[in-house]
């Protein structure tokens, strides 16, 4: 890297600027026809010291300035001699921060370090947004509709690419296009996050039990698909505690769907409100969702609340638990974190 003689450069700047420039490269300056010439094809400068105007490159021009005057490049010859123009007043002077000329990197300075940090944060946010929109998005479970598969306080990752992408794959569901692109279809038994058809904004998580064209019905607490009862077997009781510490008991079943997917369901109330329903015929391009906690789930059985879920509303497939807390410790009560954390639910696949 060629070096520049700072003192020679300062001879051509207003006197008040001479004590403000902080150089990181030195070289020599020659005078030709009354214009200063900087020798060297690669130079770098940093900010001026203590609040003075710095140097910058704007539109390919090397600008050296203070609050009133800026010098630009007039020409560069084959020997690397750079001819500066006369002082220039313009918007570049007001925007001056620090410069890079022909790829040269200035040494660290307070301004450049701050800018580098801001740039790093900005790029990190862009990468996080890209991953969230197209690969994995974190969710937490605020309700008990999927007990015992998912518990209140579970944190999980949802794969966005599993079923392709719709406008609901993006933050705030912008109305950029309709339908799905690179679409895939969920399998019966998948645990899915979707936007409710009612408002297109609220995230629900349920299990897919009905595919397009299926006939779904609950009869005496037993799920029927296309006229056939889904196999289930009682496996005991599930004990749950409410926020006040009261123990609740639920009958627990292992349910096997027609495609062989098995999962556990809870039956808390015999002859519950949703234990007997009409027969639902799932429209094309829609899915029927149910919670595993059958008596405590707002799902597709409530046709006026959730109903059939359009394929466009699918956000992604729940894949893996990465953290879980029982809620007994507030964020600032770090001494309670060990007892509040459900360690057996950290890094666990969702079935």
Which amino acids are annotated catalytic?
A: 145, 206
Alpha carbon of 29 to those of 37, 75, 104, 122: distances in Å?
Answer: 5, 14, 19, 39
Alpha carbon of 54 to those of 13, 16, 218: distances in Å?
Answer: 13, 13, 74
- Please count the CA atoms within 13 angstroms of the CA of 48 that sit on its side-chain side: 21
Q: In sequence order, what DSSP letters do the residues of 113-134 get, joined into one string?
A: HHHHHHHHHHHHHHHHHHHHHH
Strand-pairing partners, residue 31, are 36
Enumerate residues 6+ apart whose C-beta is below 8 A from 16.
Answer: 66
The phi and psi torsions of 64 (rounded to 5 degrees) equal -120, 120
Q: In sequence order, what DSSP letters do the residues of 52-103 get, joined into one string?
A: ---EEEETTEEEEE-SS-EE-EEEE-TT-EEEE-S-B-SHHHHT------TT
């Amino acid at each position: 890297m060629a070096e520049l003689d700072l003192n020679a450069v300062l001879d051509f700047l207003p006197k008040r600027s001479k004590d403000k420039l902080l150089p990181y490269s030195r070289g020599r300056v020659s005078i030709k026809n009354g214009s200063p010439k900087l020798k060297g094809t690669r130079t770098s400068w940093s900010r001026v010291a203590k609040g003075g105007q710095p140097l910058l490159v704007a539109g390919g021009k090397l600008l050296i300035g203070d609050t009133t005057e800026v010098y630009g490049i007039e020409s560069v010859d084959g020997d690397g001699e750079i001819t500066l123009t006369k002082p220039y007043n313009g918007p570049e002077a007001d925007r001056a921060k620090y410069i890079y000329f022909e790829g040269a990197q200035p040494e660290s300075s307070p301004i450049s370090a701050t800018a580098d940090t801001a740039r790093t944060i900005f790029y990190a946010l862009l990468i996080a947004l890209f991953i969230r929109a197209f690969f994995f998005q974190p969710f937490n479970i605020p309700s008990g509709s999927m007990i015992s598969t998912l518990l209140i306080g579970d944190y999980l990752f949802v794969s966005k690419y599993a079923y392709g992408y719709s406008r609901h794959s993006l933050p705030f569901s912008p109305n950029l296009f309709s339908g799905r692109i690179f679409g895939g279809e969920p399998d019966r038994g998948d645990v899915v996050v979707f936007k409710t058809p009612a408002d297109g904004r609220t995230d629900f998580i349920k299990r897919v039990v009905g595919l397009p064209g299926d006939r779904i019905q609950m009869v005496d607490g037993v799920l029927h698909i296309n006229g056939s009862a889904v196999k289930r077997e009682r496996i005991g009781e599930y004990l749950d505690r409410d926020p006040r510490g009261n123990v609740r008991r639920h009958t627990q079943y292992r349910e096997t769907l027609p495609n062989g997917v098995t999962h556990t369901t809870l039956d808390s109330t015999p002859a519950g409100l949703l234990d007997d329903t009409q027969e639902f015929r799932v429209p094309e391009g829609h899915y029927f969702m149910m919670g595993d906690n059958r008596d405590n789930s707002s799902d597709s059985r409530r046709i006026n609340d959730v109903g059939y879920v359009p394929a466009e509303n699918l956000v992604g497939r729940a894949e893996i638990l990465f953290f879980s807390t029982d809620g007994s410790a507030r964020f600032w009560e770090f001494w309670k974190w060990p007892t509040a954390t459900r360690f057996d639910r950290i890094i666990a696949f969702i079935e």
